[in-house]
């Protein structure tokens, strides 16, 4: 059983959804990102997504883009991302990388997958890689023993969902809306419908991302999904912080509130 499977088995036994938190590696610094991610784990985040900074982040809204651009400007490398994974995984939290395909392809598929595994990572989310073009990548991650995570969206047909879940391991990433990342006043109603559609074809855990920023929204999504993914809201706390220490405290405060939220959704 993989580290991700362990997490969802535990949260299901506890009658709640898992809390998944994202931050890009390298912001505000490599060490600062590790401090913030570790604080999120201590405050109740179950799965950590370490973002690999990339210059053309198609799905990322302005909040994440601002942090990613700063990380790239400061010279954050793939080696820094893997070092971040290693530091966070050492806490015992299931840790995955979120990366667009181009940086992985340039680094080398097998080299990257092996690097994630060696760092203690549990898997890799590739938002812009479709299963139809993923055969070499699937060979690499399977050889490394880590989970490939793919996305479905409200526009996905049943055939597309079936194709995605056939190659996905760990969990299915359900994008709540069509568009870029960013905290929203409410989570799209299409998210629950999408989760129900995915569950018609797979027993894999389904996690909802894009838009969750408050404990109330987390509780809402926890009522129908296996996991609640939060990214921009955490990044916003770091961007708004006066000092790195303030940023760590801010993300920890948000994580604690969201952890309560995922525990107040209806029992599964």
Residues taking part in catalysis: 49, 60
Q: What is the DSSP string of 74-86?
A: TT--HHHHHHHHH
- 18-24, strands of its sheet edge to edge: 147-149, 123-125, 94-98, 47-51, 18-24, 227-230, 206-209, 172-175, 151-152
Alpha-carbon gap, residue 73 to 3, rounded angstroms: 33
**Nearest CA to 176 among 156, 159, 160?**
156
Alpha-carbon gap, residue 93 to 48, rounded angstroms: 7
Alpha-carbon gap, residue 81 to 75, rounded angstroms: 11
Q: 230, 21 in Cβ contact below 8 A? A: yes
Q: What is the DSSP string of 148-213?
A: EE-EE-TT--HHHHHHHHHH--S-EEEESSSS-----SS--THHHHHHHHHHTT--S-EEEESS--
């Amino acid at each position: 059983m993989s580290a991700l499977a362990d997490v969802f088995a535990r949260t299901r036994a506890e009658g709640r959804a898992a809390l998944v938190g994202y931050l890009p590696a390298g912001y505000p610094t490599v060490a600062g990102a590790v401090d913030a991610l570790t604080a999120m784990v201590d405050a109740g985040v179950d799965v950590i997504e370490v973002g690999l900074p990339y210059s053309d982040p198609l799905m990322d809204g302005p909040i994440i883009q601002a942090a990613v651009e700063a990380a790239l400007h400061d010279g954050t490398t793939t080696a820094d991302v893997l070092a971040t994974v290693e530091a966070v995984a050492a806490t015992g939290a299931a840790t995955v990388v979120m990366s667009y395909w181009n940086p992985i392809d340039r680094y080398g598929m097998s080299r990257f997958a092996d690097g994630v595994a060696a760092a203690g990572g549990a898997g890799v989310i590739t938002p812009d890689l479709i299963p139809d073009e993923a055969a070499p990548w699937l060979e690499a991650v399977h050889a490394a023993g880590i989970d490939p995570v793919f996305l479905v969206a409200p526009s996905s047909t049943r055939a597309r969902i079936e194709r995605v879940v056939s190659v996905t391991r760990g969990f299915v990433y359900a994008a709540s809306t069509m568009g870029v990342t960013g905290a929203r006043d409410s989570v799209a109603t299409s998210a629950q419908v999408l989760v129900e559609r995915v569950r018609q074809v797979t027993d894999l855990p389904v996690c909802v991302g894009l838009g969750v920023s408050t404990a109330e929204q987390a509780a809402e999504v926890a009522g129908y999904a296996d996991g609640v993914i939060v990214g921009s809201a955490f990044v916003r706390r770091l961007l708004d912080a006066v000092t790195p220490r303030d940023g760590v405290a801010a993300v920890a405060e948000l994580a604690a509130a969201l952890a309560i939220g995922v525990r107040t959704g209806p029992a599964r």
